[in-house]
Amino acid sequence: MAVLYKGIQTSLSRPVAIKVMKGTLADTPEAHELFEWESKIVARLDHPHIIRVIDKGLTPQGMPFFVMDYVEGVTLKDALRSNKLSDRRKLRVMIQVAKALGYAHRNNIIHRDIKPGNILLDREGNARVVDFGIARLTEDTELSKVNEAGMTVGTPAYMAPEQQQGASFTTSASDIYSLGVIMYLMLTGKLYKAGYPPPSQHNPKVPTSLDKITMACLADDPTRRPSADKLVALLLTALKGAHLKQEQQEAAKQTFKDAKDKFRLLDIIRETDFGSVCLYENREDRSLMVLKKRHNNFKGFNEAELLSRLKHRNIINVRGVSRNDRIFITVLEYLSGGSLQSRMAQPMAVADFMPIAEQICDAMIFAHNNRIIHGNLRPHNILFDDSNTVKVMDFGFEPHYENMLEQNWYVCDDDPHTIAGDVYAAGVIFYQLLTGALPDWKRGLLQPNEAFGEIPQHLRTLIKGMLCRDSKVRLANFEEVKKGLQLQQDGSDEKTRTAIKPVEAPKPKKRSGRTGMLASVLVLLLLINGGLYLWLYAQKNPLPPWLAEPLVDAGLVPPHPQSPSFAPPARSQTPTANGDKELTMKRVDHPKQN
């Protein structure tokens, strides 16, 4: 479909890859559609193991092109052909491609052509997935409406059984099958075909655990294949850190000195100048834990220490904390569902947004009730477990990009370490989830984009209340935010406005209990005395109508006999023992009396 060129981005003086559609396809509408489709899909993805799109446009001849990161290296196909990959690098490729697929699948994108020729390896041996030209969105959007009737897409040797039946039968499990074929090829040197034995039959060095994982990926039934996220966890547990570089393992041992050799390093999740995040396995019970290390920065230690003693369904389980004069370490539960940031390649449907937003509110309400401010709430530190339950983390941690040129979009001008600051940060996240973009400001006023106008009215009102630049008129807390989330879309605008109120001025403090009680007694005595006086006076003198009627209506005084509103009591006749009739009085309530 295309020709790939190496070029230079002159504004930054860096190499780029430029993909231009072939001129022979100029008069083929389907080719234009698929090419445009690929550029839009990849532009939404931001993952270290997926090639990133930088720009797009048309050549002077009207041919479409898009510009990508340039990777200096070779394809996995060429690397396998030259037989220069070590076992450790092969294992690292398996895990990195599985991570890339997990990210794409969480954003409803299926690659549909996973093969060695579409995996690039840089000079450090890191993998990058490329060529989303026949990828498909699983949700019902404009991008997913390419006509696939009667089409079969993919490379036959790597296609899952259901994929060979037609493009419309392809699912995320089809990508897992393709990766299983690649794994089989890397472990045995043979291209898998139906009926082949496990890899260890060809290569005795393959451990039993890796045998089972590979064959699970190659199951004929798509439902029996693991998800990409589950596959990552299985591989890490089975490989026991064998894919890591020697220097990475040594650095981890220096940080976490395990004298009893109780914990085994499985993976380096992230390394930066500020610290690292590593995955460990407890050798005794096989449980997984994450060890987060920060250098020369102890912000968040007090919050982590407190949360290690408090538990909530929507806050990550802090298993322990420690520090010395240089390093601050937090031990956390392992979560396989990725971060909220990894699910934001496109706007989220309201039905998917609501449970996530409500769980974020529940986490923040619990934290604030325990006097814990987050101060750095953003999509990167909102995670998911394998059942898609929200887990908020990094309370009190300092943002990494405070000392960098990148703007912190989740902090307003006022102090972020307040409840109001956390509400603002959540407002930015909610706006992103529903619109696919960060909020834009002009002279202190929110400039909503087109997508914002398409969400329900009560959510627009809520998010505007959360994003008020002045913290005094911003929504007060997450209890108010949760109430705003739960408003029905069919409620009136007036109901929406009155249900979501900004922070009001502080009300005067109530009097002390003793003073208030004394005042109540005095008022009660005055009312009783006043009522008795009016009643005695009314027995002798009829009150003027303008005063009598309200008092009678309220039941404070009975009507005077000479008053026109007086109702004589009903009389009932009861026979006496001697046959005479005795008169008795029976009260009749005034018609207006309560």
Confidence of residue 414 (pLDDT cuts 50, 70, 90): low
pLDDT digits (tens, 9 = 90+) for 233-273: 999 999 988 888 888 888 887 777 776 778 899 999 888 87
75-239: CATH topology is Transferase(Phosphotransferase); domain 1 (1.10.510)
Residues in contact with 507: Cβ distance below 8 Å, sequence separation at least 6, in sequence order:
none
pLDDT value of position 592? 45
Asked whether residue 453 carries a pLDDT value surpassing 60, the answer given is yes
Of residues 25 and 460, more confidence is placed in 460
pLDDT of amino acid 515: 58
In the predicted model, is pLDDT for residue 593 greater than 50? no
Better-scored residue on pLDDT, 23 or 448:
448
pLDDT of residue 109: 86
Sequence-separated (6 or more) residues with CB below 8 Å from residue 439: 409, 428, 431, 446, 447, 448, 467
What residue spans in the chain does CATH classification 3.30.200.20 cover? 2-69, 246-333
Share of the chain above pLDDT 70, in %: 74
Share of the chain above pLDDT 90, in %: 43
The predicted pLDDT at position 49 comes to 93
| pLDDT for residue 591 is more than 50 | no
CA distances in angstroms from 406 to 190, 401, 440, 441, listed in the order given: 47, 6, 16, 17
- Under the banding of pLDDT at 50, 70 and 90, the label for residue 19 is confident
Average pLDDT, the chain: 81
Alpha-carbon distance of 48 to 148, in angstroms, equals: 30
Question: What is the rounded distance in angstroms from the CA atom of residue 315 to the CA atom of residue 297?
Answer: 22
Distance from CA of residue 563 to its chain's centroid?
73
The answer to whether 98 and 186 have CB atoms below 8 angstroms apart is: no
**555 HSE (CA, 13 A, CB side):** 6
Tens-digit pLDDT profile for residues 369-389: 999 999 999 999 999 998 999
Tell me the backbone φ, ψ of residue 322, rounded to 5 degrees.
-155, 160
pLDDT score, position 340: 94
- CA distances (Å), 242 to each of 91, 211, 428, in order? 8, 16, 40
Query: What pLDDT is stored for residue 153 in this prediction?
Result: 57
pLDDT score at 541: 56
Q: Is the pLDDT of residue 147 over 70?
A: no
Q: Tell me how far apart the alpha carbons of residues 433 and 356 are, in angstroms, rounded to a whole number.
A: 10
**What pLDDT shows up at residue 3?**
87
What is residue 582's predicted lDDT score, i.e. its pLDDT?
43
Domain with CATH 1.10.510.10 in the chain: 75-239, 340-348+369-499
More confident residue, 342 or 590: 342
2-69 domain in CATH 3.40.720.10? no
pLDDT recorded at residue 571: 43
In tens, the pLDDT along 338-375 reads 899 988 888 899 999 999 999 999 999 999 999 999 99
For 482, the enclosing helix (H) or strand (E) is: helix 478-485
Instruction: Find how far residue 478's CA is from the centre of its chain.
Output: 16
CB proximity list for 441: less than 8 A, separation 6 or greater: 447, 469
Single-letter residue type at 456: P
**What ranges make up the beta strands (E) of 10-51?**
14-21
According to CATH, what is the number of the domain 246-333?
A: 3.30.200.20
pLDDT grade for 490, boundaries at 50, 70 and 90: very low
CA dihedral 78, 237, 314, 489 (to 10 degrees): 40
Residue 411: count other Cβ atoms within 10 Å of its Cβ.
Answer: 20
Residue 436, C-beta contacts closer than 8 angstroms, at least 6 positions apart:
344, 346, 347, 451
Whole-model pTM? 0.73
Q: Angle 347-230-437 (CA atoms, 0-180°, nearest 5)?
A: 15
Q: Mean pLDDT throughout 77-81?
A: 93
Return the bridge partners of 67, or none: 18, 55
Read off the pLDDT of each residue in 332-337 and give the average, rounded to a whole number.
92
Residue 560: predicted pLDDT: 53
CA dihedral 290, 296, 301, 302 (to 10 degrees): 180
- How far is residue 489 from each of residues 203, 350, 433, 466, measured CA to CA in Å? 61, 11, 18, 18
Fold of 340-348+369-499: Transferase(Phosphotransferase); domain 1 (1.10.510)
